[in-house]
Amino acid sequence: MKILITGAAGNLGSLLARYLLAQEVGSLRLMVFRRDVPANLKVKGKTEIVRADLLRRESLTAAVKEVDVIVHFAGVLFKANPERFLSTTNTEYFKNLADVAKEKGVRRIILISFPHVEGPTSIDKPAKGRLDGTPISVHAKTRLEEERYLFANATEPISLRVGMVYGRGILMIDAARWLAKRRLLGVWKERTQIQLISKDDFCSACTAAITNRAVSGIYHLGDEGNVSLQEFLELACRQWDFGRPWTMPLWLIYAAAELCELYSRMTGSISPLTRDFIDIGRVSYYGDTERMRKDLLPVLKHPTIAEGLSSL
């Protein structure tokens, strides 16, 4: 089996690639744009690095040639004013990939998505795998457009709607730890329900979606816990032996995002925080994981954050 991972130089893409290598699952073709993959992913006879530009369809032909499965992570996140580019870097990029894959006979495409595409959900009213949701943030709206295109055009479409992936080495978690250590970590007061999944369980579920030929459709990946963003950050800070996060007024957090975006525009550097990140972060989300447990991952390594705290 030949597996193409787009965005393989990114955080989750490289995480999955390392896991597949360790499990000796298939032959990996790792697609990058500018940034190279970590050195430990360059394994002779097991991985192949290919450079391609999702904006240029002609550059994708070699990337998808003779591929059995595509796992799509690639995109742009940490940049100012995402509302100006996400319709291109999410929707148009994915359309180009899906179209070339279809031309070259690639049947299975796995899109890494998130439950926010159905709008606000909760443990009492979980996301059910619908494509007619009303998302709030630009990021979620454009990802929903990707999903709709996937299911209209791929032969074996799979969308993995992933909760918050946690564990050491996950960028957002490492950033929270860096801030907490310096007593800079803050969060809004309003309770925001989230659904977590450990990085080990995330990789296991992705692997099952790649290898199980009976898998198809939309799957919500998450654990069995019931926790808010605020509670998770408090638990994390306690695990790290740092002070609890500050409760900040929402206007102050948006102001910090505006400053980050302004600096990004002026310098061309990344923006670790954007207003759209806050918009999507304030949306409570929880997905129905029944299909995941049935088809992908019957038993989780970390059923709740209580079992997974040591992985932080």
CA distances to 16, 135, 277 from 30, rounded to whole Å, are: 11, 31, 27
The arithmetic mean of pLDDT across residues 226-239, rounded, is 97
pLDDT tens sequence across 236-277 = 999 999 999 999 999 999 998 889 888 888 888 777 778 888
- C-alpha span between 256 and 250 (Å, rounded): 10
Q: For tokens 């439950």, what's the residue?
A: 115
Extract the tokens encoding 204: 């296991």
Please give the structure tokens belonging to residue 262: 């302004």
The band of 78, judged by pLDDT with boundaries at 50, 70 and 90, is low
Q: Which two tokens stand for residue 296?
A: 């992908």
pLDDT of residue 267: 87
Measured between alpha carbons, how far is 141 from 267 in angstroms, rounded to an integer?
28
Span 37-54, mean pLDDT? 93
Radius of gyration of the chain (CA): 19
Of 172, 181, 215, nearest in space to 15 by CA: 172
Burial of 134 (0-12, 13-18, 19+ CB in 10 A): exposed
Among the listed ranges 24-28, 276-280, 305-309, which one has the minimum average pLDDT value? 276-280
pLDDT at 137: 87
N- to C-terminal Cα distance for the chain?
A: 33
The pLDDT of residue 278: 87
Instruction: Concatenate the DSSP letters of all residues of 228-288 into one string.
Output: EHHHHHHHHHHHHT-PPPEE--HHHHHHHHHHHHHHHHHH----S--HHHHHHHTS---B-
Asked if 74 and 10 count as a contact pair (C-beta separation under 8 A), the reply is yes
Domain 2-165+197-223+286-301 has CATH 3.20.20.80: no
Beta-carbon contacts of 104 under 8 Å, excluding residues fewer than 6 positions away, are: 61, 64, 65, 67
**Phi, psi dihedrals of residue 107, rounded to the nearest 5°:** -90, -45
Residues 229 and 187: beta-carbon distance below 8 Å: yes
pLDDT of residue 80: 65
Query: Rounded distance, CA 164 to CA 199, Å?
Result: 9
Q: What is the mean pLDDT of the chain?
A: 93
Q: In the chain, helix, strand, coil percent, each to 5?
A: 45, 15, 40
